[in-house]
Structure 1
């Protein structure tokens, strides 16, 4: 087990965003029954997992800053470039008063309120970004469906997440990066959706054989190094 943040500086998050810019956001599947507003929006959201904050940005200027609670160590938040694809109110219970859904392809993630405001600023969620109800209610009125959301942070989605072997069934940003590299090598023709499925496994086998790596059908630390995803 390795801690990526003992090995690499925080600038890895910036590199992560640069890599993900190369992935077409348009190719990511949108949550069912939701239509994205394709018109250009005038605002943008930037979430920083390290600093546990979300910024509302317009024309390069930060208009508002709010504290958030990102994912816990076993349920880290996604990292990358997404869009708001749904807006809903009245979810209640642990989701607070408002919900802003994101088009993360491997699961249902969003920005929402909470009935435990004392946990804001801590890594406690199941991967979503919790906000105080009064803050999400303000943000809800300011961002339309289609708003771009840039999530910056450690490649694993949590500052203390140790490296884990990726196997069939694994999900997340790291899987999506592996799929993107395999696709660029001409070994994977599926969707880069962050889900380690059978097609991904077959592509991993081809990559390992082609590069004379141990054929494990899995992605280990050595494989990530060879792919150039980590240094």
Structure 2
């Protein structure tokens, strides 16, 4: 004999479809302006590849740019001392030796000219041969684990490029984005081309670099670096609105605890929740880091079906039930 569903199940199903209808009527998360969202986790991520001059001063200059300099000097057998991101006397001495070797006055100052010289001859061939501009609908997939960017045309992989992605402390934003700007005049650490993404908690994009040795590594502040000749080719293939999917595990800033998520929250933690809701079959929208109407509706679906308080917010019980 076939058993009839319980009244409780029927009530849940009715609520589910009511909420689903509401979400369809009100549209998806991205219909709300990014500026109305909040990300109260402090400064986190965003491109920071502008070049400052590096030199010995008091207090010592420090940062990821110094660390990248030290790594490159070490690769070239100019000993910078500990690779600690601090521009101290030993790093200055290595820079001076590098300058003398290449016919420059040994002033210990690392400017655009020295950065370019550090990368001379480092351009590597791409993973597939050069192709004509693709026809059809284009979308990009960036794999942060394998450090690749693949161009798809009509859902078929066309070409794959090596890239550099964010460091562990400044990760590349996993999620589903779109290109919202294109520029050919950023220069410096951004190389010869820039394609901005609609990530709501920082300035992120796909760009070239004057540090070609970093390609294939976790080296950036979260942006996706490409060889300049590769980014120039890609730049001509994409347009504003081109979808960009970044795969991997969304990461929170180190030391940040889970917060209550609610409408207008933004961040990589929102992406985590959206991806889990998709995995469980409750969310049909984009994993775009914006807690909008459709995300709230999906959260309520999930809460109702798991006997949680259907308040449309994500608290510790909800995180646990989602497996986060």
TM-score (norm 2): 0.45
Structure number, greater radius of gyration: 2
Shift in alpha-carbon separation, 1:28–1:61, aligned structure 2, 3 A: farther
Please list every run of 5 or more consecutive structure 1 residues that lacks an aligned counterpart in the other structure.
Answer: 1-22, 32-40, 182-190, 195-206, 213-217
Where do 1:144-183 residues align within 5 Å? 144-156=239-251, 164-167=256-259, 172-178=267-273
Partner SS for 1:155? coil
Q: Aligned equivalents of 1:135 and 1:111: distance in 2?
A: 11
For residue 26 of structure 1, what is the aligned residue in structure 2?
Answer: 30
Equivalent of 1:84 in 179, 195, 202: 179
Residues paired across the two proteins, number: 171
- Counterpart in 1 of 2:164? 69
Q: Deviations over 1:104-154 (max 9, x none)?
A: 111111000110000001011111101111110010001111101111111
Query: Once superposed, what is the RMSD of the aligned Cα atoms?
Result: 3.8
Q: Distance in 2 between matches of 1:219 and 1:125?
A: 32
Shift of 1:82: 0.8
Deviations 1:60-91 (A, max 9, x none): 22111101111101111111111101000110
| 2:232 aligned partner | 137
Q: Does structure 1 residue 118 correspond to structure 2 residue 213?
A: yes
- Offset of 1:223 from its aligned partner? 6.0
How many angstroms apart in 1 are the aligned matches of 2:144 and 2:271? 19
Mapped partners of 2:34, 2:232: distance in 1: 24
State the 1:29 CA deviation: 4.0
Distance in 2 between the 1:219 and 1:68 partners? Answer: 36
2:138 is matched with: 43
- Please identify which structure carries the higher strand content: 1
1:175 Cα offset (Å): 3.6
Structure 2 residue aligned with 1:107, among 188, 198, 202?
Answer: 202
Contact 2:180 2:240 in 1 (8 A): yes
Deviation at 1:177, TM superposition (A): 4.1
Could you tell me which residue of structure 2 aligns to residue 16 of structure 1?
Answer: none
Residue in structure 1 matching 2:319, options 224, 227, 230: 224
* TM-score, structure 1 as length reference: 0.61
- Structure 2 gaps of 5+ residues are 1-26, 36-135, 278-287, 292-302
Q: Distance in 2 between matches of 1:174 and 1:106?
A: 11
